[in-house]
Amino acid sequence: MKKTVPYINNLKGNRVISMMTAYDYPTAKAVSEAEIDIILVGDSLAQVVLGHDDTLSVTVDEMLHHVKAVTNANPSSLVVADMPYLSYHINVSDSLKNAGRFIQEGKADAVKVEGGEKRKEVINALIDAEIPVMGHLGLTPQSKNLMGGYKIQGKTLDLAKKLFEDALLLQETGCFAIVLEGVPTIVAQSISENLTIPTIGIGAGKYTDGQVLVIHDLIGMKSKEYIDAKFVKRYGEQYDSTVKALVEYKKDIENSDFPSEEHSYDMGSDIQDSLKEWKKEIKKILS
């Protein structure tokens, strides 16, 4: 069964919502098979897939390339495309065109935008154009230069109140869910308890309506030396097992242990005589 926006909304108060990033076809297949509710094609792809330092340099075209790969997997999970930096900051008309591409060309089910009050007009326009919008508050990585780095947000009462006001505003504007990133547990809990739409937390404690992680963090697609953020739990060591497989492959081909007969093709036994003739012909040609 394909998960829809109303389905996700109905989960609030019934069970925890699961969300995971994916940026390609095989990962989307796996995430869907694990019955994760939402796939986020996050702009975190800038860092974990493309190797940039932050999310600011990924473009709509680059994101679209990955959104298409994910939706080609026909996942049962709801697919949310992250609107990258500058794709919804310049004017409403550009924002609509960019979001529309994720829906029309990328076949995403919804888009995500970062920010509160400042984004009200754009979010309104997207929803008017029948595009479901997921909000994103707290530590919004696209604002890292204004925030002075990746800092936990809402740590004073005034800032917590502002976060709550923004969350209410996003709900009133029509967002179907809100990501709360990098905020104290108690702040995320208070917001979650007082909204009717679900909150999805990352680095926001356990009282949000759902949880999200970046898949490369979860499966450990990073060397052990990489220092994970406090909120990350590694459920695998995929980087190590990939290196191990590559080292074994290199050893096998150097020792002629691969490809073995098991991994090679024979010609039919009926052409063995013609094959001998052919080998003779080759010798003649070369002599």
Given a contact cutoff of 8 angstroms between Cβ atoms, the answer to whether 194 and 25 are in contact is no
Contacts of 109 (CB under 8 A, 6+ apart): 4, 5, 78, 79, 80, 103, 132
Which residue stretch of 35-43, 70-78, 96-104, 117-125 sits at the interface with ligand KIV (rule: CB under 6 A)? 35-43
Binding mask 197-226 for ligand KIV (x = CB under 6 A): -----x---------x-x------------
Question: Which 139-168 residues touch ligand KIV, going by CB under 6 A?
Answer: none
Three-state SS annotation for 196-212: CCCEEEECCCCCCCEEE
Give the Cα separation of 79 and 65 in Å (integer).
14
Question: Which 42-81 residues touch ligand KIV, going by CB under 6 A?
Answer: 42-44
Binding mask 168-197 for ligand KIV (x = CB under 6 A): -----------x-x----------------
Give the Cα separation of 214 and 217 in Å (integer).
5
Which residue stretch of 28-36, 40-48, 73-81, 240-248 sits at the interface with ligand KIV (rule: CB under 6 A)? 40-48
Q: Clarify whether 181 is annotated catalytic.
A: yes
Give the Cα separation of 204 and 79 in Å (integer).
22
* Least distance to ligand KIV, CB of residue 249, Å: 31
Q: Which residue shows structure tokens 């900051």? A: 89
- Which residues sit opposite 200 in a β-bridge? 179, 210
Which residue stretch of 37-45, 86-94, 122-130, 258-266 sits at the interface with ligand KIV (rule: CB under 6 A)? 37-45
Number of residues this chain uses to bind ligand KIV (CB under 6 A): 11
Using the minimum distance from each CB to ligand KIV, give the nearer residue, 43 or 166: 43
Given a contact cutoff of 8 angstroms between Cβ atoms, the answer to whether 51 and 217 are in contact is no
Question: Which of 196, 216, 192, 195 is closest to 204 using CA atoms?
Answer: 192
Give the Cα separation of 250 and 267 in Å (integer).
27
Is 21 a residue that touches ligand KIV (CB under 6 A)?
yes
Residue nearest to ligand KIV (CB): 42
Is 109 a residue that touches ligand KIV (CB under 6 A)?
no
Is 37 a residue that touches ligand KIV (CB under 6 A)?
no
Give the Cα separation of 160 and 97 in Å (integer).
33
Instruction: Single out the catalytic residue among 105, 181, 254, 261.
Output: 181
Residues serving a catalytic function are 181
> Residues interacting with ligand KIV, by CB under 6 A?
21, 40, 42-44, 82, 179, 181, 202, 212, 214
